[in-house]
Amino acid sequence: MAPFELSYTIVDAFTGHVFAGNPAAVIVLPKDHTLPDATLQLIAREFNLSETAFLSPTDESDVFGLRWFTPALEVPLCGHATLASAHVLLTTVAAESKRIVFKTRWSGELIASRADNGKIELEFPAGVCEPESDELKTKAGETLKKALALDVAPVIHFVGGAPGPSFQGYLLIHVDDSIDLANLKVDSSILTAELNPPYWLQILTNTPQGEHHFVSRVFATGSGVPEDPVTGSAHCMLATYWTQKLGISGELRARQVSQRGGNVDVEWVRESERVKIRGEAVVAAKGILLVPL
């Protein structure tokens, strides 16, 4: 039997040029597809990117089902692959639409729209950070001492998570501004060994001097992603944390300072308990995947 052909697009998200930002594979599935979850997971493993997004058309031209898979597992929320998916749809099958609705399994309805400045704007659930115990704060400092190969544990200003299924297992760690996150070599396996379970995704953040309100790096070795280049879902927590910490209302400019790097604009809309995430995206590759039946 001939293999099943699936078109795919690789999109670099949160950047205006290729080979930067965070790449995601985007696949628009046939409306009546019968591919099992195990096959979707194998496809994600084949691409071996932080995320592969699978879109399922509905009877409405601007409404799509959306699921995200890392090389190892399905996740409840992913920002960069949603941005990549919106970019693909808004430049192809939904080019006439101004707004896309994504229906997801665990994170409800997500909205993508064209922003006035040419970027794509996503509306995601807000991850309002709550502090964890002093014991965990101390443990995080000792873990970072080992993971960053420091002589002493760094000063930790905050350690916390956020309620809700979208952010289960996320841990935000605010390290002192004396730590240069952009140039640190991080052994993410130590973060996983010491903090997972239950925290399978670790967010390091601070506010160095510069044009951005805050910077971050994100590690998720437990999900098959040692370091995620740019993490939209983490910015749902970063947006609420830094909005309160800095006392600034409106848009904050952020940068994830991984090796690839990416720019993320965020705004916490408290009234609707949503975070608006804005960024650019660019197509890096297109092709056909041959899936055996």
In tens, the pLDDT along 252-276 reads 999 999 999 999 999 999 999 999 9
Question: Cβ(85)–Cβ(235) under 8 Å?
Answer: no
Instruction: Classify domain 4-125+280-291 by CATH number.
Output: 3.10.310.10
- pLDDT above 80: residue 244: yes
What is the greatest pairwise CA distance in the chain? 61
Tell me the pLDDT tens digit for each residue of 45-100. 999 999 999 999 999 999 999 999 999 999 999 999 999 999 999 999 999 999 99
Task: Please identify which of the residues 5, 46, 51, 273 carries the catalytic annotation.
Answer: 51
Provide the pLDDT for residue 32: 84
Closest CA to 290 of 43, 41, 36, 32: 43
Q: DSSP alpha helices (H): ranges in 48-100?
A: 79-90
Tell me the pLDDT tens digit for each residue of 109-138. 999 999 888 899 999 999 999 999 999 999
CATH class in words for 130-269: alpha beta
For residues 182 and 54, what is the distance between their CA atoms, to the nearest angstrom? 32
Provide the pLDDT for residue 1: 67
CB within 8 A of 284, min separation 6: which ones?
Answer: 10, 11, 12, 18, 19, 23
- pLDDT above 90: residue 34: no
CB within 8 A of 178, min separation 6: which ones?
Answer: 154, 155
Chain centroid to CA 270: 21
Question: Is 267 marked active-site?
Answer: no
Provide the pLDDT for residue 118: 85
3-state class (DSSP) for residue 224? coil
Statement: the pTM of the whole predicted model exceeds 0.85:
yes
Q: What is the CA radius of gyration of the chain?
A: 19
Chain centroid to CA 272: 21
- pLDDT above 80: residue 204: yes
Do the domains at 4-125+280-291 and 130-269 have one common CATH topology?
yes
Tell me the pLDDT tens digit for each residue of 136-179. 999 999 999 999 999 999 999 999 999 999 999 999 999 999 99
Per-domain residue ranges of the chain: 4-125+280-291, 130-269
Provide the pLDDT for residue 81: 98
Provide the pLDDT for residue 117: 87
